[in-house]
Amino acid sequence: MRDGVRVATRLVTLGVLSALTLILVASLSPGAWACSCAPPGAAEFSFYRAPLAFRGRVASVENLDQRAEPRQLATVDVIETWKGNLSGQVAIHAGGPNGACGVSLRAGDVHVFLLHPEPTGRLSTNGCSLGAGRRVEPLLARFSQDLHAAETAIQAAPGALAPLLARARLLRFWRDHERALAAYRDVAARAPELVEPHTGIARVLAAQGRSDEAAAVLDEARARLGERPELLAVARIARINAGDFADLANVDFRDADLTDVDFSGHDLRGANFTGAFLTRVRFNGSNLRGARFDGTRFAGAYMERADLQDSVFTASIGFPEIRGADLRRARLERVSFPPFQSFRDANLEGATVLESRFVAPLIGDTRLAGARLTSLRITEAFIVNPDFEHTDLRDITFRDARVYRTETGTQGSPLTLHDLRGARLTDVRIE
């Protein structure tokens, strides 16, 4: 079936001009091409991870050497702070070779700075960090609105605990760890009989890698409040962050913040990772049948060769590496896929994928029989050995997709309707 299929041919001149532009820029700026930053889709994670995030205006710049691309020491006026306790002026190191991602600052420039203080307290920025700062502007606007609403609610009900807890939750969600800790501790001091401030403190400490402190907070709370289920649930997460997997079957991973945890080969059937934040977490070869990842933030997760049958990913930010994974009958809805997402050797037979966008995905030897793909925009896809037999494609846009076939040696030919043969096509556009 080819109902509603449209094929648009783009002007060759545009492609030629683009190629010439790339050649010209490369010839004029060889150093810039040596600098490699994270893909644009990862910018928001630069904010989540950064301990300091603020908008600042460069007041003055001092060159620290006489090189063509000198190292710099800039004095920056803090205009607006999202994370960290900063005010007045701060000193930031910058400059250096463009090829090493150095960036020159100029007096009067205004930037969003996402910074990781060195152990000595020194602050530095580079081209990648400033680029990420520009891309997270919409995210920061939302954070500012949410925080303003929370603080307005606190002012409207002085002494009320509910708005104080709402603000603490908000700060923890945005991973503003230090202010979240202060907010939870304030509530715990006001109402020590409440469970949530104690679990909130423990969650933040565990996310910071301070598992021993998290365990101490929970032990003290259990001694005062008893063996409450909420305390036991967070205690299990703290133990997992510390490398203790003894009780995986009973762990509730909702809202967990996990870093550098290796679940490879473990049985996690039906696990619920709703709202979790996963940083460099490995599930390679794990059993994740029926697992849920609703609103999960993937700051580096690996599920290669994992069993993800009947799993659900809804409104997740980022996506794991799934080469060779089994996603039969899985549901992927409104997922913010990162650029260059690979589906190499993955099995998506009978899966549902809808309302998502892909930028430069690799669809290579991917099994799609019986899959339902709906309302997708796929840009600059690399499609290796395409097989869309019995796949349902509905409201799909392929833009600048390229096909590669190992048997015939086809290298980068434009996608055509012939490559989609055997699929059920409704309102499919090839541009």
Chain segment 81-127, per-residue pLDDT in tens: 998 888 899 999 988 877 668 888 999 999 999 999 999 999 999 88
CA dihedral 111, 112, 116, 119 (to 10 degrees): 50
What's the pLDDT score for residue 11?
35
Q: Which residues of the chain are under the pLDDT cut of 50?
A: 1-2, 7-33
pLDDT attached to residue 39: 61
CATH for 140-236 is: 1.25.40.10
Domain 248-430 in the same topology as domain 140-236: no
β-pairing, 71-83 vs 89-95, is antiparallel
Give the amino acid at 66. Answer: Q
What's residue 4's pLDDT? 53
Give the CATH architecture of domain 40-135.
Beta Barrel (2.40)
Residue type, 161: L
Token pair 């696990």 is at which residue?
271
pTM (two decimals): 0.83
| Residues 6 or more apart whose Cβ sits within 8 Å of residue 325 | 303, 304, 305, 306, 307, 308, 346, 347
Integer angstrom CA distances of residue 408 from 362, 386, 387, 405, 412: 19, 12, 15, 6, 12
Domain range summary for the chain, segments of one domain joined by +: 40-135, 140-236, 248-430
Strands 331-333 and 297-302: unpaired
Q: 248-430 — its CATH code?
A: 2.160.20
Model pLDDT, residue 41: 55
| Closest by CA position to 285, among listed 260, 312, 320, 313 | 320
